Chain A
Amino acid sequence: MVSHTQRIEAQCYRLHAAPPLGALLRVGEPPTYAVVREIRHEPLDPTRPLAPRGEALESEDEIYAANPQLSAMLTTRFAAVVVGYGDGTALRPGLPDQPPRLHSFVFLSDRAELARFASDLRWLRLMLADRTPAGDAALALFLRRAADSVDDRRGFLKQAGKAVVAELFSEPLRMQGLLREVSA
């Protein structure tokens, strides 16, 4: 939908089928890597706002069952922060020299790819540049996912935590908030 060297915005094929916040994505070919920082469910056409439905119904599922056109009129979009790119066989932290093409396919990285990417923490700075609580929350989730993908979870979290401290030494409250989310 939108492609930028620092961020991408994508639309899901199916409603409510977004990758989770903090997930690592592989986008296009050559691959660009990005971390999900925001997910939105919204009308496909922004000029046609939603009307409230299902007042008399028992469950939310019944709303979709009673209004099958909703799946076509609504969509799920998500934004992701670009954190790296593929260079032949290597995964490199940083920004690609070109953003992914429009209509690039977006894949959820598997555990092995996540572990490979997370091993070099130089991408951390790109995510910290967001400077919003939402961005920090996405980063914390990403770090926890990455930790789960590596053999030495504790060692990874310690190393990543120290890297966070080194980057945010002048913002102690933000730093501590982020680290608390990582350790939660």
Chain B
Amino acid sequence: MTLHGNITNGYASPGRRRLGLVVGGSLSRGLEVRLDAGNGASLEDIAVGSFVTVQGRRKRYFAVVTDLELRAVDDTVRHFPPDTRDGYLAEVMAGAMAYGQLSVMPSMTAGLDDSSASLTEPAKSIPEHFAPVFAATQADIDAVFNPEQRNPFALGTPQGMDTASIRLDLGTLASRSVGVFGASGSGKTFLARMLLAGLVKQGQAVSLVFDMESEYGWQGQDNDRRRQVKGLKQLFPDRVVTFTLDEASSRRRGVTSDGVVRIGHDEVEPSDIEILRESLQLSEVAASAAWNLRQRFGAGWLSEFIGHDAASLGDLANDIGVNRAALGALHNRLVRWKRFGFLSETGQGAASAGGIIEQLERGKHVVLEFGQYGRDTAAYVLVSNLLTRRIHDTWVRRKELSDGGRGDEPRPLVIFVEEAHKFLTPDIASQTIFGAIARELRKYNVTLMIVDQRPSGINSEVMSQLGTRLSCALNDDRDLNAVLMGARDAGQLRNVLARLDSKQQALVFGHAVPMPVVVRPRDYDEIFYADMVVPSGIVGAAAPGETDGERMQREIDELFPPE
């Protein structure tokens, strides 16, 4: 009888593909698994990121392959390699003298009995020596990722398992801030759009999407297949409203927006200028001059300032006590804002923000399309930060009232921003509202979904506060390190992350998944569209803890307030 030969439960059934044996390792470093070449297992068939199970004596462990290695029993084989032209030599030496070794990171455990499969828990132990390791099956995936979720969202298939499905609980995902990362063209936009569509369909939270390149509202572009794909508004016409900063662009694209956002000069704060310092290529002195202007002119400081001609700046500089050249540089940059059609003398920002807030409070998801202004980082950062500040203020107020028993709790809100490193660099993360939201977690029912191709540009404190991270392929070492910052088992996961396919593959880890997993996101196609169809009769989204019946009654009451 062998160490593991007496286990009779279904788990050890002969249909499982045995890969090898545990021969060493530790909980912190992961396990070393000697590949069982005699069983036909080959390193060439196993990819980093694959999901495996280890059968211990009393538990089974769910693990991810984090590294692959060629090993030799003795180092002399390097100096005297076998003559591989002799097939017999090569055959008998492979797997004996030289063998493959997997590094696997155990993350979850469950009992050996199949019936307890759903009772998975984080691994706090490791299996004993010579525990057999198997390729994962659909049942293993289900045990870890697809327990009894109320609203499972099919994200995609795990590495090397085209018929299995990884499902996410989007409520859990949205309960903390989320990061979606990836190099340009890696598929992060599709992944993000898919998550947003899931959130809209399931209604655990409302979302506000700052749509920099107008890819999320009405339709997006699939550059690889040269086709248009449906945006959120097409998929959920009753649940999504679109606002625009650029009506002309919307018209050109044949899209009708539900509202236009206008922002008054008097709504721009000096702190907005400081956040934009890098985008505007201003010195610290020049950016801080905005505070002097604010002090001198009050709320209308921007209008007053850009109304000055360049010749009068010297007097103004003397008047407010700032360097002439710095003030000139600031003036030079801000005067260019006159071409921003969404900026106007008189403030409508409150109305714009109010309109968005009203929609969000009604359970609608809001996409704000930037049109031509999406190509201007300053415009994107300015508007996103300004509107988010107002909306966040409202949520904080509502939450505090709710905590005091004087109102309903505000709906969970996910604010979606692209090019997040523009808002969250180490220099300015503490000043932007996005930095504050990331740091305060879900205290006020507001979380972020940030999408970025340069996560190394994002403040490390903010990165460490992200609950769930989904990363497609990244090219830069600094970005790889940044994505894994603060993650458990970051050392092992780095290998996995560094070897993702350049397209359509993502490493998912953190709060919303029980263990890290490499996923091939499902196709964003007609089948996905069909899955996103909302059953008739359900129009809005549920508030937290609200049943369908309660939601329907609430919506009737909203339309026809009771006497």
Contact = CB atoms under 8 A, between A and B. Distances in A.
Given A165-B96, A176-B83, A182 B88 contact: yes
Contacts of B89: 161, 176, 179-180, 183
B74 interface: yes
Interface string A154-184: 0001100110111001101101100110110
A157 B88 contact: yes
Contacts of B95: 162
Nearest to A171: B76
Contacts of A182: 88
B86 A180 contact: yes
Contact of A161 (B74, B83, B88): B88
A165 B80 contact: no
A114 B38 CA distance: 25
A145 to B, nearest CB: 17
B86 A165 contact: no
B70 to A, nearest CB: 15
Given A170-B76, A173-B80, A176-B83, A165 B88 contact: no
B96 to A, nearest CB: 4
Contact of B86 (A166, A173, A175, A183): A183
A161 B37 CA distance: 14
Interface string B88-102: 110111011100000
A65 B519 CA distance: 86
Nearest to B79: A172
A164 to B, nearest CB: 7
Interface string B378-415: 00000000000000000000000000000000000000
A179 B74 contact: no
> Which of B76, B77, B80, B97 lies at the interface centre, i.e. has the most chain A CB atoms within 10 A of its CB?
B97
B35 to A, nearest CB: 14
A169 B73 contact: yes
B544 interface: no
Contacts of B91: 158, 161
Nearest to A166: B96
Nearest to B89: A179
Given A165-B97, A166-B96, A172 B88 contact: no
B96 A179 contact: no
Q: Number of contact residues on A: which range applies?
A: 10 to 19
Q: Number of contact residues on B: which range applies?
A: 10 to 19
Interface string A27-58: 00000000000000000000000000000000
Given A165-B97, A180-B86, A172 B77 contact: yes
Contact of B93 (A157, A165, A170, A173): A165
Nearest to A162: B96
Contacts of A165: 73, 92-93, 96-97
Nearest to A157: B88
A172 B92 contact: no
Interface in B74-121: 74, 76-77, 79-80, 82-83, 86, 88-89, 91-93, 95-97
A176 B80 contact: yes
Contacts of A179: 86, 88-89, 92-93
Interface in B312-335: none
Contacts of A158: 88, 91-92
B515 to A, nearest CB: 35
Nearest to A183: B88
Nearest to B82: A176
Nearest to B72: A169
Contacts of A166: 73, 96
A183 B89 CA distance: 8
B75 to A, nearest CB: 9
A32 to B, nearest CB: 29
Contacts of B73: 165-166, 169
14 contacts: A157-B88, A158-B92, A162-B38, A165-B73, A165-B93, A166-B73, A169-B73, A169-B74, A169-B77, A169-B96, A172-B79, A172-B80, A176-B80, A182-B88
Given A165-B97, A170-B74, A176-B82, 16 more contacts: A161-B92, A161-B93, A161-B96, A162-B38, A162-B92, A166-B73, A166-B96, A169-B74, A169-B96, A170-B76, A172-B77, A172-B80, A172-B97, A179-B92, A180-B89, A183-B89
Interface of A: 157-158, 161-162, 164-166, 169-170, 172-173, 175-176, 179-180, 182-183
